[in-house]
């Protein structure tokens, strides 16, 4: 037991960057925790206090502030020893107590394999991060020490913790820019889940490293020589390949082990940004750069604050990957957001930029959380944002926006502001009009064109890639659907009440409440919304409101009388809840009826449609409709044209439709024989009169022998 680490060892490490007063506060927290955990042991047989001490040591390596270290010492006290938060606040101050409380709440989170529980907990974690990002830093250090000491745990628990580490904690560390912590978590998680694969890859790596040592040394020597020749400062490090990343490249990029390992990776660390670009010139003069493989993350940092120049060279018959960065960038690359709390005399520009990025990310998470209906939807949005490969595009004013690869102009619009996304109607890419669904490429300038009163299109959900865009669109569509279902439901209910000789305004609140309770909904609005969605029959609700006898089932025949007297007016622009049947394609002027489709609102059919119910009960459920007077929307109609085959007849057809102000959506030829053909046309018209005009034009073509409107 003598090898057990001590608080004095930690204090010595802390003395490199903290003053005595602060070190003593950390010491006090240690003795307090030691007393609280007295008699508790870990699975390994060590005293429990060794765990908080090890977590504090990990944070000390990151040079975190004294409050985080105190929270690390005390992070299990509330949960394991029953000491309340108030007692900690009294002893160590409000800030430390808040941190400990935040970490305890995260510790109670078990990301079970059930997605629901996992999602709920991820929300809690987001809230904790929003209050104080140090909570997650302590939690990550706690998780890292648990992963290092997983050995004695039962198999199932090891598997669960390792999966959770790879799914949740490693990506968060990556998102916060903490590269060294992230790779260690990934490698430990990988070794735990796949011990045999890890052993095999590790053995192969060691074997290969031995046989490649001379090449590595030779390349390093040449690089060093070149830097000295040009008088450039820089230390050259070889870069290790991590087991988990080797495995993922083999699995997902379908590369063989030797393909991955035949790349020699180096990192050159220098003093200033200027030196980085000079060194880049020097290495390019030594070996040929591979085209398309250069990335400048200094001018355009990654979303987690990472900065470096990346280039791939071809020399000595092998590929050489080189990263060039300053000491400051190296520091940020390894420790990410943790670098923000490190004790420095002068505030660094890079850390504050990095902090701003994380703040923006956490703020984005909070916005998504408010908009998501349930936690599962939320975690689906967040997982997308946890590790995107970024692209960089410009606003018309030259501001750089970072987006995940595959992002579209709609994602870009929402990244600027939710209102811009909601009102987007078109876009320009590099000043040319482009489709909103086109994936963006790095370096493009994107301009969004908005229109007042525009709304998100449900089809956008099929191509947006960012969580923010997806959650915003869903949110607007839900709100829109709710407003429309209320409007349609109210119209249908008023119409049914009219049939009973009464008005909605004449129904007492008490009577409404009785019907609400009977139907087991939360409010009268929910009931009306259900009618609009097609989940309830307006006639039955109206009858309950009038008779006050919810229990009785009405005789079906009665339903026909009230319906026929007062048809509902439709305009064709009702939105998400009024759809036109694709079987009979009704247009203004056709006699039409509405069929309620559960959960989706009303589908409008032509009243001669073969799909409508034949029996009395089914007919009674139909809603009689009439068209509004001033409709100028376009509707699809299918026409079947029989004609004699001759050259140019299709062009003549298209011309005839255009002359009658119609629009062709689709045209297809179904050949019958060498002499006659049948053409199926889908055209857009704005009513029966317009259709008659189009058909007259087509009929006037000499080759046309017969034309009729298709109704399935």
Residue 439 in any domain: the answer is: no
- Give the model's pLDDT for residue 142: 92
Report CA-CA distances (Å) from 403 to 399, 441, 464, 538, 643.
13, 10, 11, 47, 53
Of 305, 326, 342, which residue constitutes the final position of a domain? 342
Q: How confident is the model at residue 37 (pLDDT cuts 50, 70, 90)?
A: confident
Structure tokens at 329: 């960038």
Q: How many CB atoms lie within 10 A of CB 150?
A: 18
Long-range contacts of 126-133 (CB under 8 A, 24+ apart): 126/362, 126/365, 126/366, 126/369, 126/382, 127/366, 127/369, 128/102, 129/362, 129/365, 130/362, 130/363, 130/365, 130/366, 131/98, 131/102, 132/98, 132/99, 132/102, 133/176, 133/337, 133/358, 133/362
**Which residues are bridge partners to 593 per DSSP?**
605, 624
Pairing of β 601-606 and β 578-580: parallel
With 0.75 as the threshold, say if the pTM is over it: no
Same domain for 605 and 663, yes or no, is: no
Residue 330 host element (H or E): helix 327-335
Give the pLDDT confidence score for residue 324 in this predicted structure: 94
Residues in the chain, overall count? 712
> What per-residue confidence (pLDDT) applies to 342?
47
pLDDT at 561 over 50: no
pLDDT-above-70 percentage for the chain: 82
pLDDT tens across 238-266, in order? 877 788 888 888 887 788 887 777 778 89
């039962």: which residue's tokens? 154
CA atoms within a 13 Å half-sphere pointing along the CA-CB vector of 283: 30
Distances (CA, A) of 552 to 205, 407, 540, 541, 562: 78, 56, 10, 12, 18
Same domain, 662 and 518: no
Backbone angles phi, psi at 293, to 5 degrees: -110, 5
- Model confidence at 40: pLDDT above 50: yes
Together in a domain, 545 and 612: yes
Closest residue by Cα to residue 662 from 638, 642, 643, 634 = 634
447 counts as catalytic? no
Q: Are residues 257 and 124 in the same domain?
A: no
Do 492 and 610 fall into the same domain?
A: yes
Shared domain for 191 and 268, answered yes or no, is no
At residue 341, does pLDDT exceed 60? no
Per-residue confidence (pLDDT) for residue 340, from 0 to 100 = 52
Question: What does DSSP assign to residue 535?
Answer: S
pLDDT at residue 536 tops 60: yes
**Active site includes 80?**
yes
- Does the residue 2 lie in any domain? no
Model confidence over 642-667: pLDDT tens digits?
888 888 888 888 888 888 888 888 88
Selected residue with higher pLDDT from 628 and 490: 490
Q: What is the mean pLDDT of residues 474-491?
A: 82
CB neighbour burial string for 301-319, b if at least 16 within 10 angstroms, e if fewer? bbbbbbbbbebbbebeeeb
Q: Which residue pairs, CB below 8 angstroms and at least 24 apart, start in 503-507?
A: 507/545, 507/546
Token pair belonging to 374: 């349930």
How many Cβ atoms from other residues are within 10 Å of residue 498's Cβ? 15
Which of 396, 465, 412, 177 shows the shortest CA–CA distance to 297?
177
CA 184 to chain centre: 26
The confidence score (pLDDT) of residue 563 equals 39
* Chain Cα centroid distance, residue 572: 33
Task: Give the pLDDT of residue 127.
Answer: 62
CATH number at residue 338: 3.30.460.10
Q: Tell me the three state secondary structure of residue 143.
A: helix
Q: How confident is the model at residue 564 (pLDDT cuts 50, 70, 90)?
A: very low
Q: What is the pLDDT of residue 358?
A: 62
Rounded distance between C-alpha atoms, residue 27 and residue 21, angstroms:
10
CB 542 within 8 A of CB 500: yes
Q: How far is CA 312 from the centre of its chain?
A: 32
Catalytic residue, candidates 13, 34, 80, 652: 80
Looking up tokens 């008699």 gives 39
CATH number assigned to the domain comprising residue 658 = 3.30.70.260
Task: Provide the b/e sequence for 454-465 (b: ≥16 CB within 10 Å).
Answer: ebbeeebeebbb
Do 691 and 709 touch, CB atoms closer than 8 A?
yes
Token pair 């090890």 in the structure block, residue? 54
pLDDT in the model for residue 300 = 81
pLDDT greater at residue 484 or residue 166:
166
Give me 696's structure tokens: 């007259």
pLDDT tens digits, 51-64: 999 999 998 888 88
Indicate whether 227 and 91 sit together in one domain: no
Helix, strand, or coil here: 109? coil
Question: Are the C-beta atoms of residues 177 and 337 closer than 8 Å to each other?
Answer: yes
Cβ–Cβ under 8 Å, residues 572 and 586? no
Beta carbons within 8 Å of 477's beta carbon, 6+ residues apart = 456, 458, 576
Residue 655 inside a domain? The answer is: yes
Average pLDDT of the residues in 329-349:
60
Contact in structure between 56 and 26 (CB atoms under 8 Å): yes
User: Could you tell me if 242 and 314 lie in one domain?
Assistant: yes
Rg (CA), the chain: 34
- The residue out of 601, 627, 653 marking a domain boundary is 627
Residue 177 has pLDDT above 80, yes or no: no
For residue 408, the model assigns a pLDDT of 93
At 387 the pLDDT is: 46
- Residues 647, 615 share a domain: no
Does 603 reside within a domain?
yes
pLDDT digits (tens, 9 = 90+) for 493-506: 887 787 778 888 88
81 and 114 assigned to the same domain: yes
Helices (H) and strands (E) in the chain, counts: 29, 20
Give a yes or no: residue 351 inside a domain.
Answer: no
Mean pLDDT of 470-482: 84
> What is the tally of structural domains in the chain?
4
Q: What domain range includes position 303?
A: 197-342
Predicted local confidence at residue 555, as pLDDT: 38
Nearest to 579 by CA among 454, 484, 461: 484
Where a domain ends, among 598, 627, 656?
627
Catalytic residue among 13, 46, 79, 167: 79
Q: Are residues 11 and 131 in the same domain?
A: yes
Predicted confidence (pLDDT) at residue 307 exceeds the cutoff of 60: yes
Q: Same domain, yes or no, for 190 and 72? A: yes
Average pLDDT of the residues of the chain? 80
Rounded (5°) CA angle 580-687-482: 35
CATH number of domain containing 141:
1.10.3210.10
pLDDT of residue 115: 53
Give the pLDDT band of residue 108 (cuts 50, 70, 90).
low
Which region among 91-95, 294-298, 548-552 has the lowest average model confidence (pLDDT)? 548-552
Confidence band for 348, pLDDT divided at 50, 70 and 90:
very low
Residues 289 and 294: their CA atoms lie apart, in Å, by 8
Report the range of poorest mean pLDDT among 105-109, 348-352, 433-437, 639-643.
Answer: 348-352
Please tell me the predicted confidence (pLDDT) of residue 361: 63
Structure tokens at 699: 């009929």
- DSSP symbol at 167: I
**CB-side exposure of 237: number of CA atoms within 13 Å?**
12
Could you tell me if residue 177 is left (phi over 0), alpha (psi between -120 and 50 degrees) or otherwise beta? left
Find out whether 488 and 574 touch, Cβ atoms under 8 Å. Answer: yes
Tens digits of per-residue pLDDT, 383-430?
A: 545 545 667 788 888 777 778 878 999 999 998 888 999 999 899 998
Any domain includes 234: yes
The CA-based angle 507-508-510, given to 5 degrees, is 135
Band of the pLDDT at 554, cuts 50, 70, 90? very low
pLDDT at residue 322 is higher than 90:
yes
What's the pLDDT band for 122 if we cut at 50, 70, 90?
low
Angle at 382 between CA 380 and CA 385, to 5 degrees: 120
Task: Tell me the C-alpha distance between 391 and 466, whole Å.
Answer: 12
pLDDT band, residue 559 (cuts 50/70/90): very low
pLDDT-wise least confident of 180-189, 241-250, 337-346, 592-601:
337-346
The C-alpha torsion from 603 through 608 and 612 to 617, rounded to 10°, is: 110
**Is 106 within a domain?**
yes
Q: Taking a C-beta distance cutoff of 8 angstroms, is the pair 96, 68 a contact?
A: no
> Residues 221-240: what's their mean pLDDT?
89
Q: What is the pLDDT of residue 363?
A: 67
Structure confidence at residue 55 (pLDDT)? 92
549 is a domain residue:
yes
Q: 424 burial class (0-12, 13-18, 19+ CB within 10 angstroms)? A: buried
Predicted pLDDT at 113: 46
Residue 458 phi, psi (nearest 5):
-55, -30
């Amino acid at each position: 037991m003598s090898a057990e680490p001590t608080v004095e060892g930690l204090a010595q490490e802390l003395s490199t960057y903290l003053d005595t007063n602060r070190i003593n506060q950390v010491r006090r927290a240690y003795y307090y925790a030691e007393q609280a955990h007295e008699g508790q042991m870990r699975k390994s047989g060590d005293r429990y206090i060794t765990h908080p001490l090890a977590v504090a040591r990990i944070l000390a390596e990151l040079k975190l502030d004294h409050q985080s270290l105190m929270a690390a010492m005390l992070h299990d006290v509330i949960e394991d020893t029953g000491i309340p938060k108030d007692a900690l606040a009294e002893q160590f101050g409000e800030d430390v107590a808040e941190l400990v409380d935040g970490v305890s709440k995260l510790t109670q989170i078990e990301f079970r394999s059930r997605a629901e529980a996992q999602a709920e907990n991820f929300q809690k974690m987001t809230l904790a991060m929003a209050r104080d990002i140090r909570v997650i830093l302590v939690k990550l250090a706690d998780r890292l020490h648990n992963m290092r000491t997983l050995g004695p745990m039962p198999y199932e628990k090891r598997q669960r913790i390792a999966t959770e580490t790879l799914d949740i904690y490693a990506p968060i560390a990556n998102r916060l820019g903490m590269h060294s912590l992230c790779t260690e978590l990934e490698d430990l998680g990988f070794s735990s889940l796949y011990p045999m694969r890890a052993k095999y890859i590790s053995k192969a790596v060691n074997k290969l490293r031995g046989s490649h040592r001379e090449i590595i040394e030779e390349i390093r020597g040449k690089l060093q020589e070149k830097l000295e020749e040009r008088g450039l400062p820089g230390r050259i490090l070889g870069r290790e390949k991590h087991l988990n990343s080797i495995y993922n490249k083999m699995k997902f990029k379908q590369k063989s082990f030797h393909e991955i390992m035949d790349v020699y990776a180096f990192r050159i660390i220098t003093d200033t940004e200027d030196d980085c670009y000079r060194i880049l010139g020097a290495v390019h003069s030594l070996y040929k750069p591979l085209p398309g493989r250069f990335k400048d993350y200094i001018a355009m940092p990654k979303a987690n604050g990472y900065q470096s120049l990346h280039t791939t060279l071809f020399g000595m018959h092998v590929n050489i990957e080189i990263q060039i960065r300053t000491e400051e960038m190296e520091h940020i690359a390894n420790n990410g957001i943790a670098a923000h709390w490190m004790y420095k005399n002068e505030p660094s520009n890079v850390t504050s930029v990095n902090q701003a990025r994380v703040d923006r990310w956490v703020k984005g998470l909070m916005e998504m959380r408010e908009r998501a209906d349930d936690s599962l939807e939320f975690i689906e949005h967040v997982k997308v944002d946890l590790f995107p490969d970024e692209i960089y595009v410009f606003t018309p004013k030259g501001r750089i926006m970072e987006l995940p690869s595959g992002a579209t102009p709609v994602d870009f619009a929402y990244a600027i502001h939710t209102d811009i996304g909601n009102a987007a109607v078109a876009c320009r890419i590099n000043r040319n009009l482009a489709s909103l669904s086109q994936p963006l490429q790095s370096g493009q300038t994107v301009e969004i064109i908005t229109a007042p009163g525009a709304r998100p299109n449900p089809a956008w959900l099929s191509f947006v890639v960012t969580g923010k865009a997806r959650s915003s669109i869903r949110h607007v569509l839900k709100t829109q659907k709710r407003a429309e279902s209320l409007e349609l439901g109210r119209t249908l209910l008023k119409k049914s009440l009219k049939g009973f000789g009464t008005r909605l305004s004449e129904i007492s609140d008490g009577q409404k409440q009785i019907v609400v309770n009977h139907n087991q909904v939360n409010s009268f609005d929910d009931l009306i919304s259900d009618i609009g969605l097609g989940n309830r029959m307006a006639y039955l609700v109206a009858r309950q409101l009038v008779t006050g006898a919810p229990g009785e089932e009405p005789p079906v025949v009665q339903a026909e009388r009230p319906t026929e007297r007062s048809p509902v007016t439709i305009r064709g622009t009702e939105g998400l809840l009024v759809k036109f049947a694709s079987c009979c394609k009704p247009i203004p002027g056709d006699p039409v009826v509405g069929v309620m489709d559960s959960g989706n609102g009303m589908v409008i059919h032509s009243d001669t449609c073969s799909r409508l119910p034949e029996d009395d009960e089914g007919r009674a459920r139909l809603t009689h409709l009439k068209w509004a007077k001033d409709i100028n929307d376009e509707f699809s109609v299918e026409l079947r044209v029989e004609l004699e085959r001759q050259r140019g007849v299709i062009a003549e057809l298209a011309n005839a439709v255009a002359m009658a102000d119609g629009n062709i959506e689709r045209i297809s030829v179904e050949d019958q024989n060498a002499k006659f053909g049948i053409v199926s046309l889908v055209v857009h018209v704005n009513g029966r009169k317009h259709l008659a005009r189009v058909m007259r034009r087509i009929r006037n073509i000499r080759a046309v022998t017969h034309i009729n409107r298709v109704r399935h």
